[in-house]
């Protein structure tokens, strides 16, 4: 229900942000384990999982691209298409 007002593109953006958060976390953990300073490299990093908390953090930055007014217009349009002519 939290994502009900988001478009498919909005949801894709939320998923991408959650993925990036998981990757950053994985990089930081790896560097801490190695005792290195935070430096970014082009080396691929394996991410074991994207957790629920990554999505929660991503949702904090989520913005809707479709307003309530636009949603109402789309619903009215969809209803007119469903009516027999």
Model confidence pLDDT, tens digit, residues 29-78: 888 877 766 566 666 656 568 999 999 999 999 999 999 999 899 999 99
| pLDDT score of 28 more than 60 | yes
- Residue 4, pLDDT score: 85
- Residue 21, pLDDT score: 95
- Residue 85, pLDDT score: 67
Direct distance between the N- and C-terminal alpha carbons of the chain, in angstroms, rounded to an integer:
34
- Tell me which CATH code domain 8-82 carries: 1.10.8
pTM tops 0.75, yes or no? no
Question: How many other C-beta atoms can be found within 10 angstroms of the C-beta atom of residue 79?
Answer: 9
Contact 43, 64 (CB under 8 A): no
């Amino acid at each position: 229900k939290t994502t009900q007002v988001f478009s498919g593109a909005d949801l894709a953006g939320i998923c991408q942000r959650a993925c990036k958060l998981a990757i950053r976390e994985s990089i930081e953990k790896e560097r801490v384990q190695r005792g290195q300073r935070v430096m970014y490299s082009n080396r691929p990093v394996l991410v074991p999982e994207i957790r629920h908390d990554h999505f929660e953090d991503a949702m904090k930055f989520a913005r809707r691209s479709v307003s309530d007014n636009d949603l109402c217009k789309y619903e009215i349009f969809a209803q007119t298409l469903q009516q027999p002519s």
